[in-house]
Amino acid sequence: MSERELSRPLLVLSDVHLSPSGRDRVAHDLAELVRKFPGYELVLAGDVFDFSTEPRERDLAASVAQMLRAHHELGPALRDHLRAGAGITLIAGNHDAAAATPEARRAVLASLELSDQARLDVSPWFVRRGRVHLEHGHRYDPDNAPAHPLVPWSAETEPLGIALTRRFLAPAGALMFAHAHETTPADGLLRAFRQFGAKAPWVVVRYFATAIALCAEAGRQRGLTEELEQGARALAAFAHDCGLGVDILADMVDAGPRPTHLDFKATFMRLYFDRVIATIGFVGGASIALATRSLLATGVAALSGAYLTNSVKQGGSRYSGLTEQRLREAASLVLGATGAELVVFGHTHEEDEAPGYVNCGSFAYPKRGGRPYVLVDTRGRAERRRFDGA
């Protein structure tokens, strides 16, 4: 068998987002799909578990067990797949970074009543199968990128998107925004009032309190230096496991975007605080000018209105399509840097395809009929498919 050939074909999917409350239809369809492809290595390419909605102090083993119990059809399907020797690989995503830890692997195997010898592999960054590179992709999205791809973050250093989910969206019951990456302040306010009614002002205040705290913490989080140093030390072992050179991995780390949460200005702008301040300046200045005819207030209102108009004119959402573009560019980078012939990502929830690149989309949140997945044959050729339960 040549180095380009895979030992077995791959069934790849991403963004299942299992939660403790259970989403039976998603888990049912995944169980059916796994049974449909015996003998394939199942690659769950990130965000399999919604650990980001859980409190940081929640015991990981208990969380995994509860999520698998809540999806009662899925556990037996995964157990049978592993017992048959086909293998399952879990790649960490931004919502389930802890999935790549030995503790998480033990918890999954214990929940499935399997021994440590079962062919369950976990990876904090990516895996290689022949010339196929499989990765979640959040490393290339600054809002969800870790300080280092080989080191699990702490409660203080988690990326902006995860910090918002854990600190605001989950406690406030606003998880409908968790996968709305391009939401603007105006759209968010309208949706909040439609969803929460009289409670909306409380939700809005809680959001701004969280956002202000995240801005204040940006780039000043405790433990960032230690994470970067730990990641640098882990490169050699990971290079040995994946078959790539340490220098190649170091270059890939350096080529990744700077995470938003490490920079005050980036965090401030990503949370649209410039537009928020401009709106306050326009409304407040105009109100004072009307009441007092103050030239200063008139000037503040005019400048704020001009800034807001120009900002919105350039695009209601500054980030529309940006994550998809970044992952396409990252796929080209990986192809060139590592000698891969195919790169498979998830994360964006958008199916995508380019020469040498496929994005799985989201199994849990498909954008059209049927749940997307990717088959990769033993020659490394990818085929996008959809599962409709039939």
DSSP-assigned letter for residue 210: H
> What are the structural domain ranges in the chain?
10-143+320-387, 170-219+265-313
Taking a C-beta distance cutoff of 8 angstroms, is the pair 96, 50 a contact? yes
pLDDT score at 188: 63
Q: Quick check: 19 pLDDT over 90?
A: no
Q: How far is CA 176 from the centre of its chain?
A: 15
* CA–CA distances in Å: residue 315 to residues 100, 207, 308: 37, 23, 11
pLDDT score at 180: 56
Q: What is the pLDDT averaged over residues 41-69?
A: 87
Helix (H) or strand (E) holding 375: strand 371-376
pLDDT score at 321: 85
Class of the CATH domain delimited by 10-143+320-387 = alpha beta
Taking a C-beta distance cutoff of 8 angstroms, is the pair 56, 155 a contact? yes
Give the model confidence (pLDDT) of 268-320 as tens digits.
999 989 999 999 999 999 999 999 989 999 999 999 999 989 988 877 677 77
**Average pLDDT value over all residues in the chain:** 89
Q: Quick check: 40 pLDDT over 80?
A: yes
pLDDT score at 350: 93
Give the CA-trace dihedral at 138, 140, 145, 147, to 10 degrees: 140
89 φ, ψ (degrees, to nearest 5):
-120, 125
Q: What is the pLDDT averaged over residues 261-265?
A: 95
Any residues with CB less than 8 A from the CB of 322 and at least 6 apart, and which?
A: none
Query: 98-107: which pairs have CB atoms within 8 A and are 24 or more residues apart?
Result: 98/51, 98/60, 98/152, 99/48, 99/49, 99/51, 100/124, 100/125, 100/152, 101/60, 101/152, 103/60, 103/61, 104/60, 104/64, 106/61, 107/60, 107/61, 107/63, 107/64, 107/65
**Residue position matching structure tokens 């350096």:** 254
